[in-house]
Amino acid sequence: MQLTQKHHEYWNRNLKVTGILLALWFLVTFVMGFFARELNGITILGFPLGFYMSAQGSLIIYVAIIWYYAHYMNNLDQEYGVHEGEEE
Amino acid sequence: MASQSTAAFTKQLTKYYSFYTGGFIGFVIFVAILEQMGVPNRILGYIFLGFTILLYAGIGFMSKTAEVSEYYVAGRRVPAFFNGMATGADWMSAASFIGMAGTLYLSGYDGLAFVLGWTGGYCLVALFLAPYLRKFGQFTIPDFLGARFGGNIPRLIGVFAAIVCSFTYVIAQIYGVGLITSRFTGLEFQVGVFVGLAGIMVCSFLGGMKAVTWTQVAQYIILIVAYMIPVVWLSIHHGFGPVPQVAYGYALQKVTDREKVLNDKTTPDGAREESVRQIFRDRSAAADAKLKGLETGGAGFLVEEKKKLEDKVAALKTAEAPDAKAIEAAEKATKDFPVDAAKAKEQWTKDKGISARAAPIKPHAQPFAGKDEKASDIARKNFLALILCLMVGTAALPHILMRYYTTPSVKDARKSVFWSLFFIFLLYFTAPCLAVLAKFDVYTILVGSKFSELPAWVSAWATVDKTLMNISDINGDGIVQLAEIVIGGDLIVLATPEIAGLPYVITGLVAAGGLAAALSTADGLLLTIANAMSHDLYYKMIDPHASTTRRLAVSKGLLVVVAVVAAYVTSLKPGDILFLVGAAFSLAASSFFPALVCGVFWRRANKLGAILGMVSGLGICMYYMYMTYPFFGIKAPLWWDIQPISAGIFGIPAGFIGVIIGTLISAAPSKEVQDLVDHVRYPNLETDYKAAVI
């Protein structure tokens, strides 16, 4: 079918949130991993920060990223009327 | 109305699995009582492994099915929460359950690449693939490639890649199954492999994906309980409280302080460590001297050396007060003396390598240790490359992606990725803490204790398996030094219950957990391989008119064949487990990821692009592994110092470049295919594209 303006808008907003979350994922994984030696100079609650981020901190952020994406997209579906019907 | 029934179904499942969990805890208590009554440990091991395998078989039997959609995708009615648990079990293999904490214990920060890689990959699954594949809603990953790129060639390459990476991975799993069964029941490794295999088969044979799903949920519950109990107990035992995941920073500080003391020669403890290290250095130097002597003196040197030993034996025997022990040792040395130059070289090179044990302790929290900045930078580069390969591989392994076909809707698929990672996170979040707690125990309690009063778990494991626990009084001072202990990584999880002073029943529980982890992953993988062959190869390409009965019969037949072949290959004990696992991820990442992601996000991507992308990704990845992994014997120089396990770092970009070039040099895909792209992008389009897919 011919996609409407609204459909394109939905897809663009999807791309936007995907891009932002991906950037966050990249930051906590690769940027923080790259600077782990430097981050270890900071100590929080007994943990060197670089170690803590790789052992647990980044994991918490990953879970949050996925939760936020599911939440955001499921609402976006409703907003743009592309959510699945009752029969699904 | 349908959503109502989904809710009812979820409620029913919750009820079943609550009963199940209660029943399982009751079973553990029952075994604990048996133990108190004096039933021997070997029998307890049998009861534990036998009972859990029967349990899985029971669930498998109850879920038997003759319906295609139940067999391939569990009828697409698995609620997000339960699919999350099943994915968790599907995902966490023997390597995660038993190996992870040990890897972290041995390699400290650098081992965290696995923790990060195996969790962060789910972000890619959630953002790039799961909802779109669910909307597409077929049975396998090659299905998507076939429909999106048209024609049989992309599908065929997909089948090939799915088989290559799943087969590599399944061997590692069956290996784990064999290891656990043989260790806890005393069966031979090869027998253990086939016994474990029988356990795998009963789950998947009768009910396909449906049976595998419900057993995986059951297996997840066992494995997470088995992982948590010993860790929490160990933490309480050492006074860090019941939430070790938060409190272990304190233990880490103590470990770090202790590392400094042991590395400092001016402290009494450090001086004792140094004396052991000196002995290792001396031994290494002696071996080195002999190697040099062999090089210059050749065979004559060997004769001379042997003569020296024989003279020593003679001298000892004729001494005024003969020392029986010394004579025995000297005779043994003479007897073990290498027979020829090649053997001598091998033996002495190995002896020379003992200098590794003389190295100072690497601080646990220190990233990328290396002898200088350059070595450290190379370690960092490999650390990041490995993370990328593991993450992208996660988002490309067909047995994981397939799980998102089983949810009732796109919405549930998205939620399901969240639950998947949440359940996986529980274990991976705990592993770094277990590693630190175990280190705390070894550094502060074991080191410095007397050899005459070793803790029970140390002597027990040292007699069972020298590769896991090797401890001997090198410098003869009667006190344990860290340099005198060699620990195998798998010991950490296996011995934690005993370190924490828990009864044997918990050790049995840990074994059952490890078995659950290995079985559930093996199940998912075998099903993926069999489905790729039966559905994609047989039904879609060879005989599209096959009846349902015939399709399922072919699928089940193939399942048995694949399982037996996999078990046979495993019983030959090929290569290093960690490498096999890593290789599977690199292979999946290079072959599937670029084509799948472009298939959704780039409307223009077409058949030639997909073919070029998959072939070049897989090709580069396999080529690099073949050239550089020592097992294949070529040992070509590394590209930019990247280890062969991270071959995907070259394969992934090659895959993307292949897709882009192939696409741009050929025509845009047909209107029909472009409609399919819209179909997967929107959870619901009014005049939706349906007819052409099915």
Give A-chain residues touching B675 at CB under 8 angstroms.
Answer: 1
CB–CB contact B421 A63 (8 Å): yes
- Chain B residue whose CA is closest to A27: B120
Q: Alpha-carbon distance B599 to B606, whole Å?
A: 8
- Chain A residue whose CA is closest to B251: A46
Q: Alpha-carbon distance B136 to B678, whole Å?
A: 10
CB–CB contact A70 B112 (8 Å): no
Q: In which residue are the tokens 């339960």 written?
A: B82
B374 in A contact zone (CB under 8 Å): no
CB–CB contact B127 A85 (8 Å): no
CB–CB contact A59 B115 (8 Å): yes
Nearest by CB to residue A59, choosing from B368, B425, B685, is: B425
In a domain, A84, yes or no: no
Q: Alpha-carbon distance B654 to B635, whole Å?
A: 22
Q: Please, what is the average pLDDT of chain A?
A: 82
In a domain, A15, yes or no: yes
Q: Alpha-carbon distance B418 to B394, whole Å?
A: 15
Partner residues linked to A85 by β-bridges:
none
Which of these, B142, B137, B161, lies nearest to B676 by C-alpha position? B137
Q: In which residue are the tokens 């060997």 written?
A: B302
- Chain A residue whose CA is closest to B679: A1
Give B-chain residues touching A47 at CB under 8 angstroms.
Answer: 249, 252, 365
CB–CB contact B250 A74 (8 Å): no
Interface-testing mutation among B103, B110, B414, with chain A (most A C-beta atoms within 10 A):
B414
Q: Alpha-carbon distance A74 to B2, whole Å?
A: 19
How many CB atoms sit inside 10 A of residue B241's CB?
A: 13
Nearest by CB to residue B380, choosing from A34, A55, A63, is: A34
CB–CB contact A69 B250 (8 Å): no
Which of these, B391, B256, B662, B472, lies nearest to A59 by C-alpha position? B391
Gyration radius from chain A CA atoms: 18
Q: Alpha-carbon distance B282 to B534, whole Å?
A: 61
In a domain, A64, yes or no: yes
- How close B120 gets to chain A, by Cα (Å)? 6
Partner residues linked to A43 by β-bridges:
A48
How many CB atoms sit inside 10 A of residue B477's CB?
A: 14
- DSSP single-letter state for residue B154: H
Q: Which residues contact B29 (CB under 8 A, 6 or more apart)?
A: none
- How close B535 gets to chain A, by Cα (Å)? 25
Q: Alpha-carbon distance B59 to B47, whole Å?
A: 18
Positive or negative: CA dihedral B217, B419, B102, A30: positive
Residue B98's pLDDT is 84
- Whether the CB-CB separation of B61 and B206 falls below 8 Å is answered with yes
Q: For chain A, how many structural domains are there in total? A: 1
> What is each CA distance from B157 to B105, B164, B594, B607, B618, in whole angstroms?
40, 10, 13, 12, 10
- Whether the CB-CB separation of B561 and B534 falls below 8 Å is answered with no
Interface-testing mutation among A63, A75, A76, with chain B (most B C-beta atoms within 10 A):
A63
How many CB atoms sit inside 10 A of residue B275's CB?
A: 16
3-state secondary structure of B470: strand
Q: What does the block give as tokens for B263?
A: 């590395």
- Whether the CB-CB separation of B426 and B224 falls below 8 Å is answered with yes
CB-neighbour burial class of residue B172 (10 A; exposed 0-12, middle 13-18, buried 19+):
buried
Give B-chain residues touching A86 at CB under 8 angstroms.
Answer: 1-3
- Chain B residue whose CA is closest to A3: B678
- Chain B residue whose CA is closest to A46: B249
Q: Which residues contact B496 (CB under 8 A, 6 or more apart)?
A: B230, B231, B234, B434, B438, B510
- How close A6 gets to chain B, by Cα (Å)? 12
Residue B693's pLDDT is 41
CB–CB contact B131 A73 (8 Å): yes
Q: Which residues of chain B have pLDDT under 50?
A: 1-3, 687, 689-694
Q: Alpha-carbon distance B586 to B625, whole Å?
A: 10
Residue B574's pLDDT is 63
Q: In which residue are the tokens 């799961």 written?
A: B130
Q: Alpha-carbon distance B405 to B77, whole Å?
A: 10
Residue B278's pLDDT is 82
How many CB atoms sit inside 10 A of residue B299's CB?
A: 11
- Chain B residue whose CA is closest to A88: B409
Nearest by CB to residue A46, choosing from B2, B250, B411, is: B250
In a domain, A25, yes or no: yes
How many CB atoms sit inside 10 A of residue B639's CB?
A: 12
CB–CB contact A30 B384 (8 Å): yes
B111 in A contact zone (CB under 8 Å): no
CB–CB contact A59 B122 (8 Å): no
In a domain, A85, yes or no: no
Nearest by CB to residue B415, choosing from A21, A70, A77, is: A70
Model ipTM value: 0.90
Q: What does the block give as tokens for B575?
A: 């290569």
Phi then psi dihedrals of residue A87, to 5 deg: -75, -15
- How close B534 gets to chain A, by Cα (Å)? 28
Which of these, B194, B255, B209, lies nearest to B86 by C-alpha position? B209
Interface-testing mutation among B100, B127, B600, with chain A (most A C-beta atoms within 10 A):
B127
Which of these, B412, B415, B421, B416, lies nearest to B394 by C-alpha position? B421
> What is each CA distance from B641 to B371, B588, B589, in whole angstroms?
16, 22, 20
Nearest by CB to residue B116, choosing from A54, A67, A77, is: A54
Residue A85's pLDDT is 64
In a domain, A28, yes or no: yes
- How close B384 gets to chain A, by Cα (Å)? 7
- Chain A residue whose CA is closest to B425: A59
- Whether the CB-CB separation of B614 and B141 falls below 8 Å is answered with no
Residue A68's pLDDT is 92
CB–CB contact B120 A55 (8 Å): no
DSSP-assigned letters across all residues of A40-83: TTSEETTEEHHHHIIIIIHHHHHHHHHHHHHHHHHHHHHHTT-S
CB–CB contact A63 B367 (8 Å): no
DSSP-assigned letters across all residues of B11-48: HHHHHHHHHHHHHHHHHHHHHHHHHHTT--HHHHHHHH
Q: Alpha-carbon distance B117 to B392, whole Å?
A: 8
- How close B127 gets to chain A, by Cα (Å)? 6
pTM confidence score: 0.86
In a domain, A86, yes or no: no
Domain of residue A59 covers 5-79
- Whether the CB-CB separation of B225 and B509 falls below 8 Å is answered with yes
Gyration radius from chain B CA atoms: 28
- Chain B residue whose CA is closest to A49: B365
| β-strand pairing of A43-44 with A47-48 | antiparallel
- Chain A residue whose CA is closest to B101: A55
- Chain A residue whose CA is closest to B416: A70
Chain centroid offset of residue B110 CA: 16
CB–CB contact B682 A82 (8 Å): yes
Q: Alpha-carbon distance B142 to B595, whole Å?
A: 11
Q: Using alpha carbons only, what angle is made at residue B244 by residues B41 and A70, rounded to the nearest 5 degrees?
A: 105
CB–CB contact B418 A70 (8 Å): yes
Is the pLDDT higher at A77 or at B388? B388
In a domain, A87, yes or no: no
Residue A67 has pLDDT above 90, yes or no: yes
Q: Which residues contact B573 (CB under 8 A, 6 or more apart)?
A: B175, B189
Q: pLDDT tens digit string along B406-463?
A: 888 888 888 888 999 999 998 998 888 888 888 888 888 888 888 888 887 888 778 7
CB–CB contact B425 A62 (8 Å): yes
B249 in A contact zone (CB under 8 Å): yes
- How close B258 gets to chain A, by Cα (Å)? 15
Residue B392's pLDDT is 92
Nearest by CB to residue B684, choosing from A67, A70, A85, is: A85
Nearest by CB to residue A21, choosing from B127, B388, B408, is: B127
Partner residues linked to B479 by β-bridges:
B450
- DSSP single-letter state for residue B339: S
In this structure, the dihedral spanned by the alpha carbons of residues B50, B55, B61 and B64, taken in order and rounded to 10 degrees, is: -130
- Whether the CB-CB separation of B187 and B196 falls below 8 Å is answered with no
Phi then psi dihedrals of residue B487, to 5 deg: -115, 135
Give A-chain residues touching B112 at CB under 8 angstroms.
Answer: 51, 54-55
CB–CB contact A25 B123 (8 Å): yes
